[in-house]
């Protein structure tokens, strides 16, 4: 049986790996889209770990994105917390540990994130190329799908 | 009885979580400056492997832009040949200039005061075009100062300064407007970036003499930028364009993906 301490340690280690990945490499991939690995990772962890632990990770992620991206302080904080709360709420209607329910919940949350982002950018009159958001949404859902498949395939 | 107690416990836990969340939100939203500075400082200090990461990042970006780099390389080879033939005539003019300068006792014009800095972070979502440098108020940097590369290419300007770091907006920011001047024909126009990310010229005078490969520098009309900083070159001229304002497509000199060492012009504040 895997020790809970080791499990948390691995989750934190993976989280910081994704932070480094996001800060150093994502912006170099392409100017057409961005991948929000932290969001995808937090959604996946929210199926497994308690809310308090996820809230701390969400707080760190939102602090990074609010500081480095988009000049509207608190947007990512609100979005990340809404997403993890909404996800907990969806557990009342969908199964928590099956492949299709996890896939469906995750894709809904990613769609919610990008829709909210587009709406905020539109409402606060921030010039942005909306196609980039659409393209990013497609890439993010695809990555989530692959990670979710791998998680169930290899029972991670 | 036990079930009732458990229900009470659940409700109390939820109320505590809710109160914590409200307090946290209030603190978070009111401490923007402090939290931003803290986040940048922490990321700057913990990003210890930044140099090897930078090499890998450059490798990935080069790998993904291989065709463009190959095309640029071929163009540069051609240009190099052309410039080699021009260098002789330039040398003669240079010598003549030196003699005249000495004869007229003209003093060397004082240029900008520069401070070296390193780009430590850039917007990972690429929505704002912002970047962060590792020097701040402690090094004498202030908001509004211009940032250039080692080749005097305009990077952007500083928008927010903290003790040991500064945030700047690059020319890649959506909706940016920069007054530019054609180095060859001295035509004035405004450089803009559309939402797709393409740079183009606006407010070009009718019958303006602008050709492909013309170099554009910042003009003196800019309230935020110094005159004479390299910005872009004319990449394409669309003659049959339905929109007369979008006739010239530009290629910026700044390579966003290779942004690393920069210089801050400290003797200019708008």
In a domain, B35, yes or no: yes
Calculate what percentage of chain B has a pLDDT beyond 70: 90
What's the domain range around B240?
Answer: 177-253
Q: Encode pLDDT of B224-251 as tens digits.
A: 888 888 888 888 887 765 665 557 888 8
* Residue B129 to residue A69: CA distance in whole angstroms: 8
Whole-prediction pTM value?
A: 0.78
What pLDDT is stored for residue B106 in this prediction?
Answer: 65
What pLDDT is stored for residue A57 in this prediction?
Answer: 94
In a domain, B197, yes or no: yes
Kindly tell me the burial class for residue B115, based on how many C-beta atoms sit within 10 Å of its own C-beta (0-12, 13-18, 19 or more).
middle
Task: Decide if B124 and A26 are in contact by the 8 Å CB cutoff.
Answer: yes
Report how many domains make up chain A: 1
The CA distance from B75 to the nearest CA of chain A, in Å, is: 23
What's the domain range around A142?
Answer: 30-153
Check whether residue B223 and residue B184 sit in a common domain: yes
What pLDDT is stored for residue A81 in this prediction?
Answer: 92
Q: Encode pLDDT of B111-160 as tens digits.
A: 778 889 988 888 877 777 788 888 888 888 888 899 998 888 899 999 88
In a domain, A1, yes or no: no
Extract long-range pairs of B55-63: CB within 8 Å, 24+ residues apart.
B56/A24, B56/A25, B57/A24, B57/A25, B57/A28, B57/B257, B58/A28, B58/B257, B58/B258, B60/A25, B60/A28, B60/A29, B61/A28, B61/A29, B61/B257, B61/B258
Task: Decide if B132 and A127 are in contact by the 8 Å CB cutoff.
Answer: no
Q: Which residue of B has its CA nearest to A79?
A: B25
- Spell out which residues of chain A touch residue B258, defining contact as CB-CB under 8 Å: none
What pLDDT is stored for residue B49 in this prediction?
Answer: 53
Name the phi and psi angles at B119, rounded to 5: -80, 120
- Spell out which residues of chain A touch residue B54, defining contact as CB-CB under 8 Å: 24
- Do the beta carbons of residue A156 and residue A150 sit within 8 Å? yes
Task: Decide if A67 and B39 are in contact by the 8 Å CB cutoff.
Answer: yes
* Residue A151 to residue B178: CA distance in whole angstroms: 49
In a domain, B57, yes or no: no
Report how many domains make up chain B: 3
The CA distance from B49 to the nearest CA of chain A, in Å, is: 9
List the one residue out of B8, B42, B9 whose CA is nearest residue B162. Answer: B42
- Spell out which residues of chain A touch residue B121, defining contact as CB-CB under 8 Å: 23, 68
Q: Encode pLDDT of A18-50 as tens digits.
A: 888 888 776 656 677 888 899 999 999 999 999
Residue B95 has pLDDT above 80, yes or no: yes
Q: What is the ipTM of this complex?
A: 0.78
Task: Decide which of B64, B93, B109 is a domain's last residue.
Answer: B109
In a domain, B222, yes or no: yes
In a domain, B33, yes or no: yes
In a domain, B267, yes or no: no
Alpha helices in chain B (DSSP H): 2-30, 32-46, 50-64, 66-104
In a domain, B117, yes or no: no
Which 17-76 residues of chain A touch chain B by CB within 8 A?
A: 20, 22-31, 34, 36, 51, 59, 63-71, 73-74
What pLDDT is stored for residue A140 in this prediction?
Answer: 93
In a domain, B51, yes or no: no
Check whether residue B81 and residue B26 sit in a common domain: no
In a domain, A80, yes or no: yes
Task: Decide if A24 and B50 are in contact by the 8 Å CB cutoff.
Answer: yes
B36 pLDDT band (50/70/90 cuts)?
confident
């Amino acid at each position: 049986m895997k020790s809970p301490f080791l499990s948390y340690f691995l989750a934190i280690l993976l989280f910081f790996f994704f932070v480094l990945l996001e800060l150093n490499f994502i912006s170099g991939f392409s100017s057409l889209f961005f991948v929000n690995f932290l969001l995808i990772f937090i959604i996946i962890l929210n199926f497994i770990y308690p809310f308090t632990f996820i809230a701390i990770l969400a707080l760190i992620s939102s602090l990074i994105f609010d500081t480095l991206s988009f000049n509207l302080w608190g947007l990512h904080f609100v979005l990340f917390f809404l997403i993890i709360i909404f996800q907990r709420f969806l557990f009342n209607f969908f199964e928590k540990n099956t492949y299709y329910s996890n896939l469906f919940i995750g894709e809904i949350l990613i769609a919610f994130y990008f829709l909210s982002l587009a709406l905020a950018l539109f409402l606060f009159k921030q010039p942005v190329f909306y196609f980039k958001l659409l393209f990013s949404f497609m890439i993010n859902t695809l990555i989530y799908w692959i990670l979710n498949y791998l998680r169930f395939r290899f029972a991670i | 009885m036990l079930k009732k107690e458990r229900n009470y416990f659940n409700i109390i836990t939820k109320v505590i979580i809710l109160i914590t969340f409200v307090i946290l939100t209030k603190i978070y939203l009111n401490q923007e400056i402090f939290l931003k500075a803290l986040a940048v400082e922490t990321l700057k200090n913990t990003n210890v492997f930044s140099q090897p990461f930078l090499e890998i990042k450059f490798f990935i970006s080069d790998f993904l832009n291989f065709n463009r780099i190959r095309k640029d390389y071929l163009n540069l080879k051609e240009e190099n040949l052309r410039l080699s033939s021009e260098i002789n005539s330039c040398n003669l003019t240079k010598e003549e200039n030196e003699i005249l300068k000495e004869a007229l006792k003209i003093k060397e014009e004082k240029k900008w005061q520069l401070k070296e800095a390193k780009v430590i972070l850039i917007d990972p979502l690429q929505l704002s075009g912002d970047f962060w440098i590792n020097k701040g108020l402690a090094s004498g940097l202030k908001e509004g100062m211009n940032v250039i590369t080692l080749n005097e290419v305009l990077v952007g300007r500083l928008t927010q300064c903290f003790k040991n770091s500064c945030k700047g907006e690059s020319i890649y920011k959506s909706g940016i407007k920069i007054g530019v001047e054609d180095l060859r024909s001295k035509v004035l126009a405004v450089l803009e970036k559309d939402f797709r990310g393409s740079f183009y010229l606006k407010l070009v005078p009718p019958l303006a003499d602008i050709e492909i490969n013309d170099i554009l520098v910042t003009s003196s009309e800019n309230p935020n930028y110094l005159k004479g900083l390299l910005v872009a070159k004319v990449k394409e001229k669309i003659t049959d364009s339905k929109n007369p304002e979008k006739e010239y497509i530009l290629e910026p000199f700044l390579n966003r993906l290779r942004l690393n060492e920069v210089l801050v012009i400290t003797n200019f504040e708008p």
